[in-house]
């Protein structure tokens, strides 16, 4: 089982998420954009290494921090195959990413952008990127 941490970042009410495998002390950063010092502080405080970045879509406010996270952590970038941006790993609808003892299922949800994906973690939690917006 994983733990998911949510961080409100930037001036556009964006969220960056960290999916944490506490047993193995590894993480995945989802949609890194602004305020990366908060993300890096969390990783350091919790003694976590970061192996992947998953971008829910290619809009700038969800990928702005990719380069810095790669530089600081060596993470590989995972994006839907339709993404026009640089990626290390392409995913398709229905694929499952095994992360520690957890599964992250990719659901392709084009609409907001052609490469939008949702992440279903352990069939219990869904991260929607901008497919659905969090209300106030």
Q: What is the pLDDT of residues 20-40, one digit of tens each?
A: 999 999 999 999 999 999 999
Asked whether residue 124 is domain-assigned, the answer is: no
For residue 24 the two structure tokens come to 């193995």
Q: Which of 64, 74, 89 is nearest to 27 (CA)?
A: 74
Q: What is the pTM of this model?
A: 0.95
pLDDT reported for residue 12: 85
Q: Is there a domain that residue 132 lies in? A: no
Q: How far is CA 71 from CA 9, 30, 75, 102, 125, in A?
A: 20, 16, 8, 26, 29
- Which CATH number covers residue 56? 3.60.15.10
Q: Which residues of the chain are modeled with pLDDT < 70? A: 131-136
Residue 135 has what pLDDT?
58
pLDDT recorded at residue 136? 47
Question: Which residue carries 């599964």 as its tokens?
Answer: 103
Q: What gap in Å lies between CA 126 and CA 131, rounded to an integer?
A: 11
Query: Does residue 80 lie within any of the structural domains?
Result: yes
Q: Give the pair of three-digit tokens for residue 78.
A: 């995972």
How many domains are contained in the chain? 1
Which structural domain range is residue 75 located in? Answer: 3-92
Which residue do the tokens 């998420």 mark?
17
Burial of 71 (0-12, 13-18, 19+ CB in 10 A): exposed
């Amino acid at each position: 089982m994983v733990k998911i941490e949510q961080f409100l970042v930037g001036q556009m009410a964006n969220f960056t998420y960290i999916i944490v495998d506490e047993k193995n002390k590894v993480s995945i950063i989802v949609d890194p954009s602004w305020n990366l010092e908060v993300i890096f502080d969390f990783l350091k405080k919790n003694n976590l290494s970061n192996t992947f970045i998953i971008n829910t879509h290619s809009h700038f406010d969800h990928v702005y921090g990719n380069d810095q996270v790669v530089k600081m952590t060596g993470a590989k970038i995972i994006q839907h195959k339709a993404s026009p941006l640089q990626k290390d790993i392409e995913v398709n609808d229905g694929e499952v990413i095994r992360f520690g003892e957890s599964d992250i299922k990719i659901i392709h949800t084009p609409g907001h952008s052609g490469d939008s994906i949702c992440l279903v973690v352990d069939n219990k939690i869904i991260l929607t990127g901008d497919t659905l917006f969090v209300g106030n």
